[in-house]
A and B are shown apart, each in its own frame.
Chain A
Amino acid sequence: MPERQVTNSVRTLRFLAGEMTQADLGRRVGVTRQTIAAIEAGKYAPSLETAFRIAEVLQKPFDEVFRWE
């Protein structure tokens, strides 16, 4: 069975949301700038709660931000 993982479009959506910085997104979500960078790089899969918060801040449906593929 091929290994699936959580992928995301945070970087693109952040750019489309007025070029929001990682620090700004992190502050609004409640995590550090480094954690946002790790999420974007696929080095960290956030908790469900943080993932929902990111989608909320980016004003996008959850499945547009995070995917399981």
Chain B
Amino acid sequence: MLPQERFAYVWLAALALVFGGYFIAVALVPAAHETATELGRITLLGAALVLLALVVGVDRLVAHFRADEDEPVITDERDLLVKQHATSAAYYVLIACMIVVGCVMPFEAGGWDIVHAALFAIVLAEVVHHGLILIGYRQGLRA
């Protein structure tokens, strides 16, 4: 398995674990979140982001120390093509979501609803990005 492919798996797992947990917690215990102080809400969000950074960072460190010297990690044209396809699709997902969050939601919602919607949009775009990277490597891609 290519390092890029493994990294996409780790990202998807980390996003599912951290933000899956975060959004489920916010949705299932809305009262707790609504009665929490601003500092409490920011702390919860900060903890989720730090956990995500830790998971991805630890994976990068492990990959660095386990790197095979006989097979150096290089980025070739196929990697660039897979990345390009995934990035373009994720960009459009992010733009569409941000139009909703930035142009529609302010008329109907406010505060943390918008924060969570924006966060969800970013997570969704990341899931699309890394998901398409996996599909690109697994099923093949044609320019």
Pairwise interchain contact B71-A35, C-beta atoms closer than 8 A: no
Q: Separation in Å of the B27 CB from the closest CB of chain A?
A: 39
Interface flag for A57 (CB, 8 Å): no
Given A23-B71, A33-B71, A34-B2, answer yes or no on A50-B139 (Cβ-Cβ < 8 Å): no
If A31-B78, A35-B79, A41-B140 are given as contacts, then 7 extra A-B residue pairs at C-beta distance below 8 Å, sorted by A number, are: A23-B71, A32-B79, A43-B140, A44-B141, A45-B143, A47-B77, A47-B143
Secondary structure class of chain A's binding surface, majority of residues: loop
A interface residue count range (under 10 / 10 to 19 / 20 to 34 / 35 or more): 10 to 19
CB-contact partner of A32 in B74, B139, B143, under 8 A: B74
Would B78 and A30 count as touching, CB distance under 8 A? no
Give bound CA distance, A42 to B140, whole Å: 8
Which B94-143 residues have C-beta < 8 A from chain A?
A: 137, 139-143
List which B72-86 residues lie within 8 A (CB) of chain A. 74, 76-79
Q: Which residues of A contact B137 (CB under 8 A)?
A: 34
Q: Are A35 and B140 in contact (CB under 8 A)?
A: no
Min CB–CB distance B68 → chain A (angstroms): 11
